[in-house]
Amino acid sequence: MSRASTSGEFHGRRRLLLVVMACAFAALVWRAVDLQVLDRDFLQGQGDARHLRVVEMPAHRGMILDRQGEPLAISTPVQSVWVNPQEIITAREQLPRLAHVLNLDMDYIQRTLARRAGREFVYLRRHISPDLATQVRALEIPGVFLQQEYRRYYPAGEVMAHVLGFTNIDDAGQEGLELAYGEWLRGTPGAKRVIKDGRRNIVETVESIRPPQPGRELRISIDRRIQFLAYRELKAAVQQHGARSASAVILDVQRGEVLAMVNQPSYNPNNRDHRRSDHFRNRAVTDVFEPGSTIKPFTIAAALEAGRYQPHTRIDTSPGYLTVGRNTVKDVRNFGSMDVTGVMRKSSNVGVVKMALSMPPKTLWAMLSRVGFGATTGSGFPGESAGLLVNHPRWRDIELATLAFGYGMSVTPLQLAEAYSVIANDGLLRPVSFLYQDKVPEGERVMSTRVAREVRTMMEEVLGPEGTAPLARVAGYRVAGKTGTVKKSIAGGYADDRYQALFAGMAPASQPRLVMVVVIDEPA
């Protein structure tokens, strides 16, 4: 082959190669223009669809504060573990490691994933500790993710349990004030647009769509210090006397605010694993009982208001019992003749029954109804009972007689405290509230000032050396109150060996600020 032909063939191949390279370069340039200019919006949308997400930003519940501004319920950020069953199927060999870290049974995990295989979001464990969240993150298992949530924490634990209640795992109120003011406390979640990587981890926040709105604070009337003291003493009394249960309520007389409300047995609202549902109810507002002798001050107040008696009016209680129809009303002994103050001091059943029978039934019923018996206090607490007060046209003499010393009607500890606040507040009834109030609410006059003060003076005698409650005296303070011992009703009558011990009192008796009711159920 000649040199000329060889050279021509070489130049032809070079030109062909240059043409091919030029075409390839042109194709690349065209593709770049196509991707960057012509199809940019479409491709950007496709990329965003795979990596750009709108995620919810959780909002915490509002704090609950006591009247001094001390926190009683706080929401703290926690992490929850969730999985995508469709992704984790590729890493099933790592599930035992995850089960070990989360302290979960492997069978439970497999059953959970099998039941919800078609979903993309399944909670595996909620509200874990920060240390545990770090361990889960370090496993780097495909399809396993962490999500921030909030968990409710109660610094006072069981001391405040029955007043505050608790929230469920989704932070919704289930009992107590958490339930009653759920709408007020609940926050509004926000939203933001983020970029996630292939492992669904957020790598960049693009924009905030809607900021989260935390729930509003709730300042309640409870005084944390008084609550603690009441709880400590009530628990000690239950343990000392081997009682079945107990309740105590303390009211601010001038404002109608609940300063303390405690019950036994209680529970720890921070421990979801060891709660007993029979301990949840707030006995001070839900449980009713016959008030017994604690109702006698109102029987006497009705008689004084009717003008039939004065504190010094004499009543003969001899021979220590009274026949009413086919029934007999008895005193613990024959007190003989004594004035109305003595009837209160000795808690004479015969004396108050004689006073009640001398009045029209409507007079006693009207007094009991006006001070709040037979209706809820209007506190707004979930599950509050109205008790029972039957209307007067149905009363026979024996029913009027037993009602005079607190049988045949039912009340709650909170109702009884509200009624005693009338005597303490010179005859004014103020609405009961669990919320802190800046202003003193308007009161309704349901008893004359004179009668309220006369009854209060008589109740001071109950705590004297000849009264039924000398142990309730407080050194340095004038205290007024009334005891009650109520047999518990059973099928066919009343039990002789099962009863409730009650005390309702106020201090200082000269110008009361506090009213307290204590109910001990079945002390041994």
**What is the distance between the alpha carbons of residues 488 and 409, in angstroms, rounded to a whole number?**
13
Is residue 75 part of the annotated active site? The answer reads: no
**What is the distance between the alpha carbons of residues 252 and 317, in angstroms, rounded to a whole number?**
37
Which of 80, 247, 266, 293 is flagged as catalytic? Answer: 293
Q: Which residue(s) pair with 330 in the sheet?
A: 321
Q: How many CA atoms lie within 13 A of 166 on its CB side?
A: 26
Catalogue the E-assigned strands of 346-450.
428-429, 444-445
Helices 397-404 and 361-370 pack at an angle, to 10 degrees, of 40
Query: What are the start-end ranges of the H helices in 463-513?
Result: none
SS3 395: coil
**What is the distance between the alpha carbons of residues 252 and 234, in angstroms, rounded to a whole number?**
19
Spell out the SS3 assignment of 250-288.
Answer: EEECCCCEEEEEEEECCCCCCCHHHCCHHHCCCHHHHCC
**What is the distance between the alpha carbons of residues 172 and 407, in angstroms, rounded to a whole number?**
40
Spell out the SS3 assignment of 164-207.
Answer: HCCECCCCCECCHHHHHCHHHHCCECEEEEEEECCCCCEEEEEE
CA distance readout (Å), 470 to 336, 353, 460, 479, 518: 22, 24, 10, 10, 16
- Helix (H) / strand (E) element for 7: namely helix 3-33
**Dihedral of the alpha carbons of 199, 203, 207, 211, in degrees to the nearest 10:** 80
Catalytic residue ranges:
293
